Copies of this chain bind each other. A is one copy, B any other.
Amino acid sequence: MVRQVKSPIELTDAFHANGLKVTPQRQLIFRLMHDNTMHPTAETLFSDASTQMPGISLRTVYQTLTDLAAMGELRLIDVGAGAVRFDPNVDDHHHVVCELCGDVRDVYVADSQNLSIDGLDGFAIDSTSILFHGSCAKCA
């Protein structure tokens, strides 16, 4: 079952349902994240948002992204260098990052829920993050 990326309208409803207000700043970020496959950082989104809404604060961008993540509408990706990337795709998937240009893509790994793991030592697993490191077609 694939959980589709939510539309700005659906996110508005979701915010209201959680007792959160929907401001113009938040609506802008909803739109910027909708169907966004760039895996942007908060700074990148702030820069994009600033062109459409001069004066919006970086703090507000962080706050809204954090709220979205807390509601499960956004996934955080730590690629091990630089700032966290945000991904509106909350489907079961993983990532590949280009070590040269930093480009990140969604990838789908067969049976990633059923890996054979040795050495768990009593750990209960909640989730799995697979990160492939390599070089993209452009940088190769």
A105 to B135, CA, bound (A): 28
| A129-B133, A132-B117, A133-B129 known; A123-B96 Cβ under 8 A | yes
Nearest Cβ on chain B to A42's Cβ, whole angstroms: 15
Q: Does A1 have its Cβ within 8 Å of any Cβ on chain B?
A: no
A128 near B133 with CB under 8 A, answer yes
Residues of B within 8 A of A70 (CB): none
Residues of B within 8 A of A134 (CB): 123-127
A105 near B130 with CB under 8 A, answer no
Minimum CB distance partner of A118 in chain B: B108
Residues of B within 8 A of A130 (CB): 115, 128-131
